[in-house]
């Protein structure tokens, strides 16, 4: 029993140094300390100038540290140790902020001094990380992600950006985004092209039918297709591109319709609809209430076969 106890003690002392191993804290050589080598020279210079200007204007001190890995140490614990050693901000104001990025561990932390917690709140810091930084980090674009996060923090501290939950935010490219905006999906360009070709082929077919169909049906399709020209491009290419596509459709369709209506075949089709009840355009037979078909048409409307309900089915509520 004594031997077993001695073995446990020896095992504890062997494992204790490894468990207590802490990641070294680098020397504070400037406002931007990039030991991970993730920032370009231009980005480091821009960040340094930005942080210096903010410190001169407000007295707040923001510092950035990037280390490759923490070797298993928690990012929160390491950030606190760095903050305690570097001590950013003034002693009587506690107005310091630490940005910590650990690329190999895929961790990022914004540590805020007590004096700034009322302005740069935990929720706001979390939103900066979630909406502005980590999406760019997943792409390997640390320059844009870090600059976007630091810029947002500075704007909030200086009062030029609202930190409210319903406030407008700027993405790293400087375009305004909100909770209602849908960004382009994260998919490779070939997939976007293939899905876009499929979707636009379907919408384009109905748009073509609307353009060549005389009478009110053509204009009905114009308004009917507006939601489709808005929503499908949004989910494939993002809201910015969707707005341009929708605007192009909204303008070009009426203009094209006017040009088409002056063609002789269009005027003939309009007369055929008025006199015969149907018109043939390029192999399609168009009827006022029956749409169009390629080379054939159905006679009359639709009616049931005389079946009856037995009272079955289901109902639901929520």
pLDDT (average), residues 287-300 = 45
Name the residue among 139, 177, 164, 147 with its Cα closest to residue 40: 147
Contact 225, 173 (CB under 8 A): no
The per-residue pLDDT for range 217-269, each reduced to its tens digit, is 778 888 888 888 888 777 777 777 778 888 898 899 889 988 888 888 788 87
Q: Dump pLDDT digits (tens) for 113-161.
A: 999 999 999 989 999 999 999 999 998 999 999 999 999 999 999 987 7
Q: What is the DSSP string of 285-302?
A: EEETTTEEEES----S--
Query: For 41-88, how does the pLDDT look when each residue is reduced to its tens digit (9 = 90+)?
Result: 999 999 999 999 999 999 999 999 999 999 999 999 999 999 999 999
- Give the integer Cα–Cα distance in Å for 128 and 146: 10
- Kindly tell me the sign of the dihedral angle through the C-alpha atoms of 217, 220, 222, 225: negative
Provide the pairing of β-strand 61-66 with 32-34: parallel
Q: Which two tokens stand for residue 13?
A: 């002392």
pTM for the whole thing?
0.50
The pLDDT-based confidence of 188 (bands split at 50, 70, 90) is: low
Cα 215–chain centre separation: 41
- What's the pLDDT tens digit per position in 153-182? 999 999 877 665 444 554 544 444 443 444
């Amino acid at each position: 029993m004594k031997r077993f106890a001695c073995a446990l003690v020896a095992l504890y002392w062997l494992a204790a140094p490894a468990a207590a191993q802490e990641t070294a804290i680098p020397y504070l050589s400037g406002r931007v300390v990039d030991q991970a080598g993730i920032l370009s020279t231009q980005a480091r210079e821009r960040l340094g100038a930005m942080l210096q200007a903010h410190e001169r204007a407000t007295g707040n001190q923001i510092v950035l540290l990037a280390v490759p890995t923490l070797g298993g140490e928690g990012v929160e614990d390491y950030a606190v140790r760095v903050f305690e050693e570097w001590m950013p901000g003034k002693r009587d104001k506690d107005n310091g902020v630490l940005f910590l990025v650990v690329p190999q561990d895929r961790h990022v932390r914004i540590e805020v001094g007590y004096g700034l917690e009322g302005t740069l709140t935990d929720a706001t810091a979390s939103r900066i990380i979630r909406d502005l930084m980590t999406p760019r980090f997943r792409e390997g674009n640390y320059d844009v992600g870090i600059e976007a996060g630091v810029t947002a923090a500075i704007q909030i501290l200086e009062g030029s950006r609202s930190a409210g939950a319903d406030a407008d935010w700027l993405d790293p490219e400087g375009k305004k985004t909100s909770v209602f905006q849908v960004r382009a999906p994260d998919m490779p360009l070939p997939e976007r092209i293939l899905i876009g070709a499929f979707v636009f082929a379907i919408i384009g077919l109905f748009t073509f039918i609307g353009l060549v169909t005389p009478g009110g049906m053509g204009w009905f399709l114009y308004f009917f297709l507006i939601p489709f020209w808005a929503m499908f491009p949004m989910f494939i290419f993002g809201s910015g591109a969707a707005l341009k596509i929708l605007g192009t459709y909204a303008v070009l369709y009426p203009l094209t319709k006017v040009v088409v209506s002056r063609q002789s075949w269009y005027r003939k089709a309009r007369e055929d609809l008025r006199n015969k009840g149907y018109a043939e355009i390029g192999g399609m037979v168009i009827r006022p209430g029956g749409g169009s078909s390629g080379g054939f048409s159905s006679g009359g409307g639709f009616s049931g076969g005389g079946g009856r309900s037995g009272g079955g089915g289901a109902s639901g509520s929520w």
